[in-house]
Structure 1
Amino acid sequence: MDAAAVALLVRGIHDGLADTRHRAGRIAEAFERYASIGPRAPEPCAAVRVLDGFDEIDAAIAAASAACTTEMLTVQPDGIRSPSILAHASTRDPALVDRGARMRTLYTHVARYGHALTAYLERLGDGAEVRTLDEVTDRMMVFDRTVAFLPANPERTSALELRQPALVAHLVTVFECLWNRAVPLAEPVPAATGITGITHRERVIAALLAEGHQDAVVAQRLGISVRTCRHHIGRLAEALGSSSRAQLGVRIARAGLGGPAHPVAPR
């Protein structure tokens, strides 16, 4: 092999190594740019941060609440709120309202029957507004439309703290869509469906059953017990003249109860 051929071969190898180094550098830069999205990013402005344990979650929420100056948006599923949870919220939320921030919270309709909720709202006064729906999303808190908190596991022993603007904006949009369809606490929940013997809640249960959900899932989404859910299913089957679960699905479809049952959006 002559010198010219060797030089050409070496030049090709050199150019290939240079191209590889260039691509590796670009990958490293991209990794550094998105590393803050990792679960344990230490920076306070990290786009996504995982909070482990109730103490860490509570401390982060308390800090966001203390810094909140305009609005707090909250979604609370699971039906009637326990007095202990509302008592804990009462140690934090009044200060937020006293600063002039507005609180808007979405609950399931079942939450209306909790006496502790009434006392909690009386303490907050006009700074808090509540609406209810048949079912809501999982728990969510958004402060000043800049930081949001979501559960990170089913047990809610871990949470996500989100500060990425697009993610937070999306969650706010979801909240506003639910809010516009929800019923203000001062107004009655829809009761009738236009079908004899079937209440509004049974209409909602029928729609969830038509989607293929089991009793436990239906109960969880509506914030009621499995026993109460099955009681409504029994009433629904009786009203539709169904003698079996399989037949109930057919009767639900024939009655046109398979679609969503949401109240008319309030004014």
Structure 2
Amino acid sequence: MAGTGTEEHPHGADRLCEAGDRVYSRAVRRGRVPRRDADQVPCLLDLALLHPDPDDMDWLVPTSPQEVMTRLLRGLYEDVSASQRRVGTAVAAYEWYAGLGGSAPSGEGSAIRVLEGLSRIQAAMDEATEACTREVLTVQPGGIRREDELAEGLHRALTLRGRGVHMRDLYTHVARHGQGLLNYLELMGDAVEARSLDEVIDRLILFDRTVAFIPANTDRTVALELRHPALVGYLVTVFERLWRLAIPLTAPLPDTRIEGISHREQSIAALLAEGHQDAVIAERLGISVRTCRAHIARLSETLGAASRTQLGVRIAQVGLDGPQEPVDLTQVTVPGQGSRTGR
């Protein structure tokens, strides 16, 4: 069989084609199969009976027969009177497959699930939204959020607000300048609490502290759905510690206490002191490289530095590489130069 799409495999998860039956049965027996084994049976991936192994993307692991059965029955019962025979077939088929799996630990296959493609990620997120009853925690990296991103998540947020779910969102300080975000927060009212930091971790979404979603590649077309209690608990702890350090969006950013140096320039100075390049600093703070370099130029001018090496010395002298204390720039000198006055 040389199928390349679902049109050549016209069946559901309850009645596999011969080739699909062989590959899925082998996967259940062995725990996983090479990805190439599924090249001729795309139906197994389309029906989510196989999915990538999070430890090795060249292998596919089977969705547990119990999980498949639960998902299948959920759809069948919506029209149970017209699906009696399909339910019976599904039960018989997956009792057989479950027997092939031996004594594998229950639920192990669903603790980490790889979601390939934006449509599958969206479907999983919608399912988690529907099941959520108490709390959503999110980390939103990058700079000013685009209007289309905010609009995409608005329907989900409104659904959660309608059920009394409380949401807490973490952004970078740069996101404060986006009017779209301010409009979104005003619309959501008390249902959403937002804070910001100089830099945050990569995107994270937690529902009811039981399921988490994180990106698995740089363009976010692959995601991991995590349900392992230890992993989810660890991510909750990370979020809570960042939350305590963050500043509410309703509060102003703290003054650097150094005349002529903004809060953002202070953040850039600290990252420069750690030895990071412009592109890395820009990505971590959610700004463009061009904007980052403009801030570095102003920082150099304010501190009276004529080179990057001299700038590093000046940053250390005025204490921008650590906790801030009131500093009089007129009293700070660069070795071999006289005192300079900051503007």
Per the normalisation by structure 1, the TM-score is 0.80
Question: CA RMSD for the aligned pairs?
Answer: 1.9
Residue 221 (structure 2) pairs with residue 157 (structure 1):
yes
Q: Give aligned-pair identity as a percent.
A: 60
Match among 186, 205, 222 for residue 250 of structure 2: 186
1:64-101 CA deviation, whole Å, 9 max, x = no partner? 11110010000001111111111111121111111111
Match among 321, 324, 343 for residue 258 of structure 1: 321
Number of residue-to-residue matches in the alignment: 227
Aligned-partner Cα distance in 2 for 1:161–1:84: 24
Aligned-partner Cα distance in 2 for 1:112–1:195: 22
Shift, 1:37, TM fit: 10
Residue 285 (structure 2) pairs with residue 222 (structure 1):
yes
Helix, strand or coil at the partner of 1:50: strand
Instruction: Give the equivalent residue in structure 1 for 2:308.
Output: 245
Unaligned runs of 5+ in 1: 1-30, 262-267
1:202-260 CA deviation, whole Å, 9 max, x = no partner? 11101111111111111111111111111111111112211111221222222222237
Aligned-partner Cα distance in 2 for 1:139–1:198: 30
Instruction: Give the equivalent residue in structure 1 for 2:156.
Output: 92
Aligned-partner Cα distance in 2 for 1:138–1:256: 28
Aligned-partner Cα distance in 2 for 1:123–1:241: 45
Instruction: Give the equivalent residue in structure 1 for 2:276.
Output: 213
| Alpha-carbon contact 1:207-1:260 (below 8 Å) kept | no
Instruction: Give the equivalent residue in structure 2 for 1:166.
Output: 230
Helix, strand or coil at the partner of 1:69: coil
Helix, strand or coil at the partner of 1:75: strand
Helix, strand or coil at the partner of 2:225: strand
Aligned-partner Cα distance in 1 for 2:53–2:295: 45
Residue 263 (structure 2) pairs with residue 200 (structure 1):
yes
Higher relative contact order, structure no. (Cα contacts within 8 Å, ≥ 6 residues apart): 1
1:24-70 CA deviation, whole Å, 9 max, x = no partner? xxxxxxx97xxx99434524551111111111111111111111001
Instruction: Give the equivalent residue in structure 2 for 1:18.
Output: none
| Alpha-carbon contact 2:195-2:248 (below 8 Å) kept | yes
Instruction: Give the equivalent residue in structure 2 for 1:69.
Output: 133
Unaligned runs of 5+ in 2: 1-29, 32-50, 55-60, 68-106, 325-343
